[in-house]
A and B are shown apart, each in its own frame.
Chain A
Amino acid sequence: MDSPLLDIVEPGATPTKEKCPVSPAVGIDLGTTNSLMAWVQGGKPRCLADVDEGSAMLPSVVSYAEGEVLVGQAARRRALEFPHQTISSVKRFMGRAPNEVPPEIRKLYRLAEGDSGVARFYLKDRDTSPVEVSAEILRALKSRAESTLGPITQAVITVPAYFDDAQRQATKDAGRLAGLEVLRLLNEPTAAALAYGLDKGSQGTFAVYDLGGGTFDISILKLIEGVFEVKAVGGDTQLGGDDFDLALAGPQMDAAQKSGPHAVQQLLQEARAVKEVLSDLPEARLQGRLVTRDELEAAITPLVEKTLGSVRRALKDAALKPQDVDGVILVGGSTRVPLVRRKVADLFGKEPLADIDPDQVVALGAAVQADLLTAENAREDVLLLDVLPLSLGLETYGGIVEKIIHRNTTVPNSAAQTFTTYADGQTALDVHVVQGERELVADCRSLARFVLRGIPPLPAGFARIDITFAVDQNALLSVTAREQLTGISQTVEIKPSHGLTDEEVERVLLSSFEHAESDLEARTLLSERVEAGRILQAAQKQLVANGDLLEPSERQAIESNIAALTLATKSDDAGTIHLAIEALDHSSSDFARRVMERGLQRAMGGHRASEFA
């Protein structure tokens, strides 16, 4: 394989290539209902406008019907015809066992537990995992963006602040499966604050109220001199606009269920549309039933009140009163519901901010973060502090949880605690890592378990074992146990018990090879087009600047090759474009040499290059 064309540098001046200057790193809001992609151009984040049928939002729906994979609106339309083979709200299943998903959502699919307890979807002709379905969504965003941006390799993906390790890991796996290097997972409310904070130079204490399709997050943030600190997070991973639809459809749900899954999907889609209409109009019809805005509000009031309970708890965690908050940022399409705005305004005693499109603000913030992480002159003054959503701890004797790192601790972070043996001559220690707020192991989520062996036999209580928890900036955990006397130690890379097993990862990677060929083809075509664009620009520029070096016949040859290449770029065949590039290269190489000679002569103050030979 040839290297690119290189130039000679002075001794020791070879640049260190830590990162390659490729196409921009993008921000992705992988949402329950819709997904968006944004990137920073000219210092401003913007969403990719035409992702799906003219909209910036790609419905997070994947259909596997009739042997083809469709994503977005096209998939959503298939949901009615093929309800069992069309998956929406897949985010609710990420890193989850089937029984952890609410029954209303769960019963729309045929589910089973995979090798590691995580839910799997059984479809007509195949089965698939939430990670693979999410990867299809990411792949769709990526390929649609690539026609505008060129090949995309790096991304920041947002997750709800409440996502636990298993859910975060599943999101990372999905990114990897889609061929993306996940630079970072960013909490959605933090992304929203970044979009607001950096664009508007806001300062003070802010609450980010994010009510999306399937998740609710509340974050309390402090913005001081461009530094973000998350003071508290709270929310509910199982509450969002989907639940509004369910509540609105409630009276008609039994009848729909009797008619089968087709009718349920139809009813939910229409309920969503009616809900949106009721934001503007006082009444609308849902499958013939007249529904007023008052009725909608009555149906969803308990849900909205539930979010306000989370808001109050988060404020309490941050030791703040509602009036201490300088501004409230609204995020998520469900915050367009008038009742939500009213209730939020009432609680905080001020009108919430919504100047940035609440559907786009998270993706825009993620793009800002992606830009900061990859920019040549990375702005080191922008420090982004995230907090742990849930406490991390250890099982101690008797099934009690000893918390090592508490929730709402800023990350990255590490903490250590010394443990001892409880029996005489004990030579091994069972280290059981759990996540949660409850005091008993049985009520927390088990993350990992390992055994530290080789502890010298001593009376009970004499051995000293340091256990260190380290959480990286993606809120992923590693745990090290070290016996002080002997120095024996063991580190565990947390494999969340609800994540994917190696076999599952292997299998999904193998199946991703199905896409490998078409991906490569698309990539080759794109890079040839980019190369063609660059060479056409250069050729035209040189014709203007140095055209006098050419005989008319030579000029004609180059111009006809330029025309041919321009035509070839419209083709969908990479080989055709490549041949046209080569033809232009070939016909212009003599010209290029003359242009270079001229440049060299000018640089050497009129000497001929041959004098130095």
Chain B
Amino acid sequence: MAITVTVQAAEQIKKKLAARAQTTAQSGLRIGVKGGGCSGLSYVIEFADAPRAHDRVIEVDGVKVYVDPKSAIYLDGTVFDFETKLLQSGFVFKNPKVKSACGCGESFTPAV
């Protein structure tokens, strides 16, 4: 298993990186999880201008996505996608390990 970044997500990341002044050739996206939130863990989705030591790097369509090793465990099997709906569009973690999420869905409890 691994983490999959869809082509749609990569395209959007590319656009958003391009719209940013500080973007360099090293710049990419950092995805991960961190503690907190009412259901245990919440997702991180930030720009990253350089990788950190031990990061795993996923490259799709020339876009770099960085994941720290611990987050990679929680995100194993996840499809990172971009969805467009009428109400809003945005990135989505499709994580098979999530067994429950809080009311707002922004934090979650992974299955053991």
Contact B85 A585 (CB under 8 A): yes
Instruction: Please tell me if A4 contacts chain B, counting CB pairs below 8 Å.
Output: yes
Q: How large, as a class, is the contact surface on chain A?
A: 35 or more
A538 within 8 A of B: yes
Q: Does A153 contact B (CB under 8 A)?
A: yes
Interface residues of A in 549-596 (CB under 8 A from B): 584-585, 588-589, 591-593, 596
Contact stretch, chosen from A12-20, A133-141, A477-485: A12-20
The residue from A6, A17, A593, A603 contacting B92, defined by CB atoms under 8 A apart: A6
Chain B residues closer than 8 Å to A5, beta-carbon distance: 83, 85, 88-92
Chain B CB within 10 Å, residue with most, of A8, A21, A588, A612 = A8
Closest Cβ–Cβ distance, residue A251 to chain B (whole Å): 55
Given A8-B16, A11-B49, A18-B36: A538 and B87 interface contact (C-beta under 8 Å):
yes
With A3-B106, A8-B45, A14-B44: A591-B86 Cβ-Cβ less than 8 Å: yes
Knowing A17-B36, A592-B86 are in contact, say whether A1-B15 is a contact too (CB < 8 A): no
Residue in A535, A584, A600 whose CB lies within 8 Å of B15: A600
Residues B84 and A589 in contact, CB atoms below 8 Å apart: yes
The distance in angstroms between the C-alpha atoms of A542 and B11, with both chains bound, is 24
* Known contacts A6-B92, A18-B36: A588-B15 contact under CB 8 Å: no
- Residue-wise interface mask of A (5-40) relative to B, using a CB-CB cutoff of 8 A (1 in contact, 0 not): 111111111101111111000000000000000000
Tell me the complex Cα distance, A534–B88, Å.
11
A16 to B41, CA, bound (A): 10
Q: Does B34 contact A (CB under 8 A)?
A: yes
Question: Binary interface profile of B, 1-32, with partner A (CB < 8 Å = 1, else 0)?
Answer: 00000000001011110110000000001100
The verdict on A7 contacting B104 (CB below 8 Å), with A1-B98, A585-B85 known, is no
**Cβ A612 vs Cβ B46 within 8 A:** no
Question: Contacts A6-B43, A8-B13; is A588 near B86 (CB within 8 Å)?
Answer: yes
Contact of B103 among A20, A592, A596 (CB under 8 A): A20
Q: Is the CB of A539 within 8 A of B86?
A: yes
How far is it, in angstroms, between the C-alpha of A8 and the C-alpha of B95 when the chains are bound? 18
Contact with B along A522-540 (1 / 0, CB 8 A): 0000000000001100110
Q: In the complex, are the beta carbons of A589 and B46 less than 8 A apart? A: no
Residue from A3, A589, A612, A613 in contact with B43 in the complex, judged by beta carbons closer than 8 Å: A3
Complex contacts, B42 vs chain A, CB 8 Å = 14, 17
Instruction: Give 1 or 0 for each of A125-156: 1 = CB within 8 Å of chain B CB.
Output: 00000000000000000000000000101000
Assess the A17–B45 pair: CB atoms within 8 A: no
Is B46 a contact of A17 with CB atoms below 8 Å? no
Q: Smallest distance from the beta carbon of B23 to chain A beta carbons, Å? A: 10
A residues near B29, Cβ cutoff 8 Å: 8
Q: B102 contacts the other chain (Cβ, under 8 Å)?
A: yes
Within 8 Å CB of A14, what residues of B? 34, 42, 44-46
Query: Does B38 sit within 8 A of A, measured CB to CB?
Result: yes
Write the nearest CB–CB distance from B3 to chain A, whole angstroms.
14
B37 interface residue, CB < 8 Å from A?
Answer: yes
Q: Is B47 an interface residue (CB 8 A)?
A: yes
**A contact residues around B57 at 8 Å (CB):** none
Query: With a CB–CB cut-off of 8 A, which chain A residues contact B48?
Result: 11
- The interface residues of chain A lying within 8 Å CB-to-CB of B34 are 14
A534 surroundings in chain B (CB, below 8 A): 87
**Is the pair B36, A16 in contact by a Cβ cutoff of 8 Å?**
yes
Check A609 for interface membership: any CB of B closer than 8 A: yes
12 other A-B residue contacts (CB within 8 Å) besides A2-B105, A153-B103? A5-B85, A5-B90, A9-B45, A11-B47, A13-B46, A20-B104, A534-B87, A591-B86, A592-B84, A592-B89, A596-B89, A600-B15
Name 8 A/B residue pairs within 8 A (Cβ), A-sorted.
A3-B43, A3-B93, A3-B106, A4-B106, A7-B90, A9-B45, A10-B46, A22-B104
A residues near B (Cβ < 8 Å) are: 1-14, 16-22, 151, 153, 534-535, 538-539, 542, 584-585, 588-589, 591-593, 596, 600, 603-604, 609, 612-613
